[in-house]
Structure 1
């Protein structure tokens, strides 16, 4: 009888865990591999139920007042307690874990254990208590079946039906063009003092003819998540990008999260899965463009016939067609002499034209990295010794300098190639990298020979100054009448980096944007609908933000009233693109490990 209770309780809990896991991790709709995962959950919790039974038997010997029937009910009580506590804690994930929450968790755990003790006192006859325990374990199975059959992903809004494939978006002629320039991680905390010193002239010029904002971001502050929200105007629950990587679980299910950072498990399941992930036993891979489940403003503008170009944007490989050019976030990884990775550029035929723009890592000399540090006293053999001692820093700086230089070259090349563009988006990576590598050392002073950390003090400042020069080169090719929107996905702060979602920065200038000296606030989800409004696109009603028409010239607002459409989504969106990129995936994963995003 005890064995049957353990088996039924473990199976029931496996179903509850599967439903909980699917709900919190947006795993729906179901497929066959998910149920293989459920079987694994069941086996794990049969073991947990067996351990609970053994411990209850031992407890009865130590404390006879628990009653001999207690071990029959203990496995069910323990599993219900685990599920209840996990459901409460993870359901309210992100809220302060205060005394009230702790007491509530304690009560949730204590209640089923207390009930098990009461049942053991009421049903003292072994046969009768066994039948009751089997009935309760069977009820746990029924509960699990019902949960699996009725579960819905948390965070999802009611789906809006996509437009028919024949219903194409149309844009009115507003006479505006929009240039979006992204700087990952840039913050006013660094920008403001440098602008005040006069060492950021291109930023200062742009601000003088526009307006500035604190960019209100959200958690988790993972770049693929936020940059996809910038582009789509939708939350991660609706565009489908939740993390920096995906994890392959036993049974073949690809979880669109990392186990260690954003995946939700109940307490018992989380321990072995997180252990396996920390020991690299579960395969990882970055996201791919076909997994973005929402239409971006770039795609909407392209569908409406506006010349649209985007480059190096997160989660853009394999590159999908736009009316202009789509340069994916893996283009910079190509070897100009042997470009083997497919899908880096759309149209593919343009790849050969852009290859000369690539700055290989091998073309970034150590002397270029030394320009960003305090190199006092470094000469001769001392340079090589320092580089060997700080090999990880040097490698990351070389990689990301090469990437940003490549992005600069391609941006200028494409701006010159198509002067009739209407929407152009480009993204630069390495500002955030310098924060991750040197933020805690940026205020160090003294002799670098005495304190090695002093060498890293100027890195952030000098990289911002370098990027101001890049801005000048890029904006020299952007027409004066274009709207320029420059922004970052988050800021940075001491101790917590960007985990607490510090504000990013944003600047809007030119065209129909009304200049202002007052710093305002703007949200991630407001960018896409505002860009759409400037371009004369209908704004989708299912976006998570509204267009900021208060920033625009009243004459423009009056001449171009709000146009809406139910959704930008359209029947026939493509599935994930093909392509073997395992070696490139491995390179990207190693970079994420170097920055601490994954282990």
Structure 2
């Protein structure tokens, strides 16, 4: 009888291939190299908004945040009070609940939003078991409900590690000159010590459970890289202008050392799990570690969880039995992890999961099985207590304060419940935009704008969304209120340029973008926007140069590859257009424009049958894409499929009539 399949899912918060690849090339990550030798790898596209707990919960549930409800660190109550986010606020099941239904056992260690620990078949050691393990003077009492089973916390208590236990030798691995520094008063050394202690705790717990428990799925997250924070990220070479010499000399090797330490721990996990276990290594987003890092201190150290430091691409690597060694995983997203795990374990996938199985990584997989939804399973979180105890509330609140997402007890803040609800609604709007549901986003943002007409963040996002929806007059009205000053910021200039471009005013669009380029020329986005204007003007050579500049700055900038594909089509260089469009689709398979450009390039290159398939994919994502429908009519005709061509042509006429009516209505309103 074949042994039951097992999956070890390892999270490295903020891990990025750009940093890891350089260390792989130097031989500094031998255990990651070992995983890759027998595995497949690729980028893992993140979601918006980039709130870490939201992202990890989406990965664990296979659903977007509007479905699972993890949106902000603070939630409003019906009585105008507020509460800290906890596991009780998650809506719908996570992977461990889905496994419970099939009598599979799970281990969950240090996964976000798992406190209070959830009753599962197996064990759950919540993120508060490790998060509150560290303090400069010793260990704090274990938070009530930090583990499941309840008594597990006592048996694992000796594995909780304090920064006070770290000696000079251990710290010197991360800060070579630590012997000459007073670690008790140096804030950077203290931050590293706490992050390291919590990482040691996480690792000790998961290795103990892997050996002591029977399990089918083990999920562990190491947040060492992310916990180091912007002050230490900024010290990574080359030195940034705002980083003091002393800090750079002390911590310039810390980020690399943290990666090497995680690699050592990965080696232990691989050996403990065994070669018959499928291992998935993932990150929820990537960390900028090159010229795309924030170039000024005010941007680098702003609040909101270090958002300017993160890329839209994390990492995914899969190794183990049945994996295509050396394989490439293409166009993967966070939402693809849960379906892939379920399918590998021969468990059903819910049809309401928007992700896919990463089949290209495998030689063979069980036959796909589906259920309509997992929402009704008995392990869903609504079947337990729905309210934190006072001790649990205090512990959860302290966690969010430690992470820097809350500055004070929210109950003491004026209008705390109203503020919390607005933040949730704003994040819901960002989720809707990311899911290509602009009407939902506009409704939420309009409501928020009515409540807070002076909030530039809300106004700018509403203006951008209205512009994309073709409501140019309303977008201009909002935008002019925000940018009515001489010192306009680059993102404001770029938004103005989008509006000018929509109105056909190419010269004004370029003028705004050239100003943005002068202020922030390292960002690939501004060069891609310049390229888009040149595309509209059919100035192919200038467009090629602009998109080339964008891709020089970020070779994985999807907008740059889309623009280059469109440029190649304008130049009638169809094979090069195919290459550029394929790269764009690999980076974001949910972007209809990438599939459209790929289909058009294939059609131009005479690869008609493949073009038709790609155009169908585009229309599955955006059925009303007029140009894709037109191209598909031509493809059907070339394939001799006259009936299908005629049917598609009728659809084109319907869309053209709707577009004409829309233009007439907009002109009438003006």
Normalised by the size of structure 1, how large is the TM-score? 0.59
Partner of 2:74: 246
Contact 1:201 1:468 in 2 (8 A): yes
Contact 2:101 2:377 in 1 (8 A): no
Distance 1:532 1:356 in 2: 34
Partner of 1:584: 395
- Partner residue of 1:347 out of 149, 153, 171: 149
CA shift in 2, pair 1:566/1:361, >3 Å? same
Distance 1:394 1:387 in 2: 8
**The residue matched to 2:331 in structure 1 has which SS?**
strand
Distance 1:175 1:220 in 2: 37
- Partner residue of 1:526 out of 332, 336, 341: 336
Distance 2:152 2:36 in 1: 34
Partner of 1:188: 17
Partner of 2:28: 199
- Partner residue of 1:570 out of 359, 376, 391: 376
- Partner residue of 1:441 out of 220, 224, 235: 235
- Partner residue of 1:561 out of 353, 367, 381: 367
Distance 1:220 1:593 in 2: 17
Which structure is richer in relative contact order (CA contacts within 8 A, separation 6 or more)?
1
Distance 1:432 1:173 in 2: 39
Contact 1:311 1:327 in 2 (8 A): yes
Matched, 1:213 2:8: no
**The residue matched to 1:179 in structure 2 has which SS?**
strand
Contact 1:185 1:488 in 2 (8 A): yes
Partner of 1:464: 259
CA shift in 2, pair 1:383/1:537, >3 Å? same
CA shift in 2, pair 1:486/1:397, >3 Å? same
Distance 2:370 2:34 in 1: 35
Contact 1:176 1:511 in 2 (8 A): no
Distance 1:324 1:544 in 2: 28
Larger CA deviation: 310-319 vs 337-346: 337-346
CA shift in 2, pair 1:449/1:400, >3 Å? closer
Matched, 1:356 2:154: no
**The residue matched to 2:50 in structure 1 has which SS?**
coil
Partner of 1:317: 115
Partner of 1:179: 8
Root-mean-square deviation (CA, aligned residues, Å) is 3.0
User: Post-superposition shift, 1:396?
Assistant: 2.0
User: Post-superposition shift, 1:200?
Assistant: 0.5
CA shift in 2, pair 1:502/1:522, >3 Å? same
Distance 2:392 2:197 in 1: 20
Give runs of aligned pairs for residues 115-514 of structure 1, distance below 5 A.
Answer: 175-243=4-72, 245-248=73-76, 252-254=80-82, 286-332=84-130, 333=132, 339-365=141-167, 368-375=170-177, 379=179, 382-384=180-182, 388=185, 390-391=186-187, 393-418=188-213, 420-434=214-228, 436-444=230-238, 451-493=246-288, 494-495=293-294, 498-499=307-308, 501-514=311-324
Contact 2:61 2:95 in 1 (8 A): yes
Contact 1:186 1:488 in 2 (8 A): yes
Contact 1:220 1:501 in 2 (8 A): no
**The residue matched to 1:593 in structure 2 has which SS?**
coil
Q: How many pairs align?
A: 384
Contact 1:319 1:327 in 2 (8 A): yes
Contact 1:225 1:236 in 2 (8 A): yes
Partner of 2:660: none
User: Post-superposition shift, 1:321?
Assistant: 1.1
Unaligned runs of 5+ in 1: 1-171, 255-284
CA shift in 2, pair 1:364/1:445, >3 Å? same
Contact 1:289 1:577 in 2 (8 A): no
Q: Which structure's residues are more often helix, by fraction?
A: 2
CA shift in 2, pair 1:517/1:569, >3 Å? closer
User: Post-superposition shift, 1:173?
Assistant: 8.6
Contact 1:441 1:453 in 2 (8 A): yes
Contact 1:490 1:498 in 2 (8 A): no
Contact 1:173 1:536 in 2 (8 A): no
CA shift in 2, pair 1:358/1:506, >3 Å? same
Contact 2:329 2:358 in 1 (8 A): no
User: Post-superposition shift, 1:318?
Assistant: 0.6
Contact 2:282 2:316 in 1 (8 A): yes
CA shift in 2, pair 1:346/1:511, >3 Å? same
User: Post-superposition shift, 1:549?
Assistant: 2.6
Distance 1:339 1:492 in 2: 33
Distance 1:439 1:338 in 2: 28
- Partner residue of 1:538 out of 334, 348, 352: 348
Partner of 1:552: 362
Contact 1:173 1:535 in 2 (8 A): no
State which structure, 1 or 2, has the greater radius of gyration over its C-alpha atoms: 1
Distance 1:437 1:550 in 2: 39
Partner of 2:488: none
Distance 1:552 1:174 in 2: 19
Partner of 1:149: none
User: Post-superposition shift, 1:219?
Assistant: 1.7
Distance 1:532 1:432 in 2: 28
**The residue matched to 1:425 in structure 2 has which SS?**
strand
User: Post-superposition shift, 1:299?
Assistant: 1.1
Normalised by the size of structure 2, how large is the TM-score? 0.53
